[in-house]
Structure 1
């Protein structure tokens, strides 16, 4: 076996821990590693009957489900590349990705059959039930995984425009899981809640950790604050991965209650986090651990350690063991964030120019702005393209948003730059308030707070109330839709 070859991770766990739980559902159903292996191999033989072959690009269109997990593993047994498709996208957006990724077949959850059948790529669509009804064929299944071979293609979240297909090797996913466990550790009773979509790297990475650690995943189809809090409080969940808006809603639902001591980590990603939310989490003793990563880094590349969570509130920590991180500025100053490591993609599918532009001497230019303190802890400030330059002054939207979040009635806030003939750009604020507060909170009252806290050039020139902010499938705010 060459250095790049490792035993198939599901087969290995089925060998080592056959009866250990691999997946647990909120219905109470549990599936052990040996059963998941058997299901996945059976499904692989049926996929072969459907024409799936090694190196074929296969679309996966599904919400979180056991069938989706089975399909993902089945594709790895055949050596096919899983192209993870976002179920919230339009026909035009999905068709673009299917075409761009050279997808030959698309396997969809039965609940999406009606939608998928009307799309431009309908001729390539097979439902999960269609596959289940097929006969198995004899086919040589993979017993080893080549860490250098492509495992998945995931498209960038598209908060700024046309997404690009990020190619992840098995090695990228492998090293991401290694970096995570060396930082957070692993308890015998570990159970990781997965509510992030599996078609997104944040959710997919939990699945890989399960295979490598022999750890159960508590899988939820979609986010529901009550269901997540119930799982943490009553189902033995020890770690959960969330983004900011999810944490906000969990705090609201939790009320005056507290999580059990066995819950040790609320892994928080998805971009800069408003300081008031972190402070409220601290008051409630929620063990928030901030992390920094992106599709291109196969999930985490820097994460705060649990021991530093309270003394470094607001920081995303330091680069994980296998990785490196550099900010192009002196400590305390804001600069571009560059990263390097074995979990970083080698590039974008069929985009040599974009790949070349994104790398500099082996370092990935993340497009994010950040600073490190004197001890080397990273603080993510802003996406580079979200920075507002007004009359030559740099304005960071998160600084304004942090002030808006000090107003109790503000549930969500976003600040973007609007073109201005005199200043080039000026900040504009968008706010979501609770229904009971809609009449009580005025622009004038909000502006009074902003005037008190911010320099004149940072103050929004307008405040716009919305029922909700536009978000993508991972709940990131799509600021380009507000500009």
Structure 2
């Protein structure tokens, strides 16, 4: 079968046309119906003059409509940029301008955001999605389309999806994922952990993250139903797990922890549930043990947007003696540890930079050849994470070579926060580091050097940050300092700042 996403759904619809494919707020579609809707969207894009390689953007919470728009665009050869709906209008405007999308599909609840960003971008079409009513621009576009496309040869090595991730320069970078990347990621995931055939999967992590998106392709590959949940709430998740007879789902550790606080878990019928996958930050062994007591297996995953999803998995069958690892590499991937300075391979047990190779490795960063060359060397993606492989091939993540902070499953890049904070007229210097947090894993803390005589306080610094960036990115605390530590070359010594946080008395 072709490794093109435009063909993937068509092949599944031909094989199991009447099996349930998608379950949303008000919709249930079998694969035949979903395939028809996808063809209609592809036809609409063609009628609007979009050509293979053109870009559209989606600003929506999890829904069947997102899947329809994505697969339909793929069938038309159009690239989809999935937007993080937690971002501020100016952040979204930068991404839209960078990728050059002129069509935006967005949820009605984001109408104010779109109104604010519209003057900053060149949008030819804006289509509203209303998950509750269904009488919206998106559905009207489907109804108006013929569903026929001119013949073209689908190329699996063409870009299918752009996912923007903030970089160390403070500007988001568009990760170019090809059809082959996403197909290979779905296939490797299925083969590695035994993704159930014709199962029922709950999508609760946002689809603008690779962890929320990749399972959709795995479900089509295996003929499984995808149940779309727009917003996470612990009680709601437990209700859907029971009512929809969910077999597996993915959630970050913080979500799993919050779910355990919900009432009446022991009274629910969860006999259909086979396992839950968790990652984005370390999964505590104690958390795994508590779910095991409920009869629910937890699988750990390690991966990145740049490898279209998972690079390795740990499963209970591998043994609790290696629960501190993130398991072994996926079926057709290639893990190696290298010296961060020389690139030379490191033997088992020695710490180095974690690198991943194989058909999942992304095609590079959109309009950023320098960053692409730095990230992909000899076909391997250099993750920026430090770790080691033991003599049995289990991967252990030790630390991050980069300064990235992971808070509640979200990636936060200090450089992006620093670039915003330094714009404040009373801030002379600033550095952002992560502080351990019991609930979120890590939270960003700003070390600030004020202008002499300034009375700038913590609340004002935090408000300045929140006014420019999404709330989840913003600093949660501020430490004022007379100067920031630097070495003889004037390089900022962030490890000293982190050490100060670790030894400070709790607030």
Shift of 1:69: 1.7
Mapping of residues 392-403 of structure 1, within 5 Å = 401=436
Structure 1 portions without partners, runs of 5+: 389-396, 405-409, 430-456, 466-483
Mapping of residues 237-316 of structure 1, within 5 Å = 237-253=246-262, 257=266, 260-308=270-318, 310-316=320-326
- Residues 188-228 of structure 1: CA deviation (Å, up to 9, x unaligned): 45211111112221111111112211111111012111121
Find the aligned partners of 2:303 and 2:330 in 1 and give their Cα distance. 11
Find the aligned partners of 1:176 and 1:147 in 2 and give their Cα distance. 13
Find the aligned partners of 1:387 and 1:147 in 2 and give their Cα distance. 32
Mapping of residues 211-250 of structure 1, within 5 Å = 211-250=220-259
1:381 aligns with 2:398: yes
1:64 paired residue among 52, 62, 65: 62
CA contact (8 A) 2:198 2:222 kept: no
- Residues 202-260 of structure 1: CA deviation (Å, up to 9, x unaligned): 11111111221111111101211112122223321111111121111112226762773
Structure 2 portions without partners, runs of 5+: 129-135, 339-345, 406-432, 448-483
Find the aligned partners of 1:178 and 1:343 in 2 and give their Cα distance. 10
Shift of 1:132: 3.7
| Match of residue 19 from structure 1 | 18
1:342 aligns with 2:359: yes
Change over 3 Å in CA distance of 1:427–1:142 after alignment to 2: farther
Query: Which stretch of the first structure deviates more once superposed, 269-278 or 53-62?
Result: 269-278
Find the aligned partners of 2:186 and 2:220 in 1 and give their Cα distance. 10
- Residues 375-430 of structure 1: CA deviation (Å, up to 9, x unaligned): 11112222222499xxxxxxxx99x95xx7xxxxx43442778654699445778x
Shift of 1:171: 0.3
**SS at structure 2 position matched to 1:117:** helix
1:351 aligns with 2:368: yes
CA contact (8 A) 2:5 2:183 kept: no
| Match of residue 443 from structure 1 | none
CA contact (8 A) 1:244 1:273 kept: yes
TM-score w.r.t. length of structure 1? 0.78
Change over 3 Å in CA distance of 1:219–1:160 after alignment to 2: farther
- Residues 319-375 of structure 1: CA deviation (Å, up to 9, x unaligned): 111110012344344321011010110211111100111122222110111222231
Shift of 1:114: 3.1
Find the aligned partners of 1:202 and 1:157 in 2 and give their Cα distance. 16
CA contact (8 A) 1:7 1:143 kept: no
| Match of residue 145 from structure 2 | 136
Mapping of residues 74-85 of structure 1, within 5 Å = 74-85=72-83
| Match of residue 435 from structure 1 | none
CA contact (8 A) 2:200 2:245 kept: yes
Mapping of residues 32-181 of structure 1, within 5 Å = 32-119=30-117, 120-121=120-121, 123-128=123-128, 129-134=136-141, 135-137=144-146, 139-140=148-149, 145-156=154-165, 161-181=170-190
Change over 3 Å in CA distance of 1:45–1:166 after alignment to 2: same
CA contact (8 A) 1:77 1:143 kept: no
- Residues 1-47 of structure 1: CA deviation (Å, up to 9, x unaligned): 9x7768711111111111100012366x4210011111121222223
Shift of 1:124: 3.5
CA contact (8 A) 1:339 1:366 kept: yes
**SS at structure 2 position matched to 1:116:** helix
CA contact (8 A) 1:145 1:170 kept: no
**SS at structure 2 position matched to 1:411:** coil
Over the residues paired in the alignment, what is the CA RMSD in angstroms?
3.1
Change over 3 Å in CA distance of 1:415–1:33 after alignment to 2: closer
Q: How many residues end up aligned between the 2 structures?
A: 420
Shift of 1:313: 1.6
| Match of residue 378 from structure 2 | 361
TM-score w.r.t. length of structure 2? 0.75
**SS at structure 2 position matched to 1:347:** coil
